Amino acid sequence: MEILLTGGAGFIGSAVAARLVEAGHGVRVLDALLPAVHPSGRPTVLPEGVEFRQGDVRDRETVERALNGVDAVCHQAAMVGLGLDLDDAPDYVGCNDLGTSVLLAAMARGGVRELVLAGSMVVYGEGSYRCATHGDVAPGPRRPTDLDAGRFEPPCPQCGAPLAPGLVGEEAPADPRNVYAVTKLAQEQLAAAWARACGGRVLSLRYHNVYGPGMPRDTPYAGVASLFRSALARGEAPRVFEDGGQRRDFVHVGDVASANLAALAAVAARPAGSARTYNVGSGSVHTVGEMALALAAAYGGPAPVVTGEYRLGDVRHITADSARLRAELGWRPEVSFAEGMTEFAAAPLRG
């Protein structure tokens, strides 16, 4: 297939590009090289044979030209991360939602009907929780008074008892808790509306905590793994927020790229007008503190420092049930937590 890969010069996008080329696909990358992601102004080195075009998905003419002759779109372009404050909201909405709507409108006009969308686990808000008395419950918003006092675990909203966290499945209700999360949910909804309107097919991949070689360094929009790795490169201890007990599913970027390849192979067989979501996680649950310890040990120190700090927009626990992706698309993660952290500790970050 000939594939348009938006955001293909970024951390995840460049890994997807490499995997698609290995599988024999033709790849055209469209990337705006936004300064927050590409401070050098240069794209990541892409595999031989990839066609690179610098351009913004918010520009209609640019997108129309990029879609010429392609069979499917793999949409990775987005502004990522929690952001700094609400002043970031217009940029998130512009990059993620306006950009997606311009792309979808151009696909409808151009007759391109197959889409794989980079989604995110942030659409769930908090993960899955169970109260011993009240069963499955959804905890309310985290309160600064609790967090200031070091009470990081969300209580049962009905009785206040401790909750047991579990794996979240794709059918869990959406509960986005920051601007970035809202824009990622809107991307999925826009894509589903596009599919219904024009007979398209979309598979959305809800990434969990992606890490690996090529992550951007020293940016507030990067993931926690990149922040820890950047600190170690400066000779500083990784600073672990809260008590380090936040549960996450850390999935290697190579496995995420394989999930995109599997989705592109499957999307054409979906019914016209359909949309389906898949969690993309390793299936291995670790805490943020465990990840910091593993990364520091593989790097050779210094040891992490648990600070008790917090960000109000963060969630306590969110871990994936990726059984649907495994069963329906035959995908399997290949990189273990230990192997991935050892590799990541030695891999260069992208400036």
**Side chain identity, residue 144:** P
Kindly report the number of other CB atoms within 10 A of residue 197's CB atom: 11
Tokens 């990067």 belong to residue: 222
Residue 80, by phi and psi: left (phi above 0), alpha (psi -120 to 50) or beta?
beta
Please name the helix (run of DSSP H) or strand (run of DSSP E) that holds residue 285, with its range, or none: strand 285-287
Could you tell me the CA-to-CA distances from 285 to 246, 263, 294, 350 in Å, in that order? Answer: 10, 24, 14, 27
Alpha helices by DSSP H, listed for 222-348, are 224-233, 253-266, 288-299, 323-329, 337-346
**Side chain identity, residue 148:** D
Question: How far, in Å, CA of 7 to CA of 240, rounded?
Answer: 29
Residue 342 CA to its chain's centroid (Å): 21
Phi, psi dihedrals of residue 138, rounded to the nearest 5°? -115, 115
Question: How far, in Å, CA of 293 to CA of 319, rounded?
Answer: 19
Q: Is residue 94 helix, strand or coil?
A: helix
- Of 92, 124, 129, 180, which residue is the catalytic one? 180
Contacts for 304-307 with beta carbons within 8 Å, 24 or more apart?
304/228, 304/237, 304/238, 304/239, 304/240, 304/244, 305/237, 305/238, 305/239, 305/240, 306/240, 306/242, 306/243, 306/244, 307/239, 307/240, 307/241
Known catalytic residue at 129: no
Based on its alpha-carbon atoms, the radius of gyration of the chain, rounded to whole angstroms, reads 20
Catalytic residues: 180
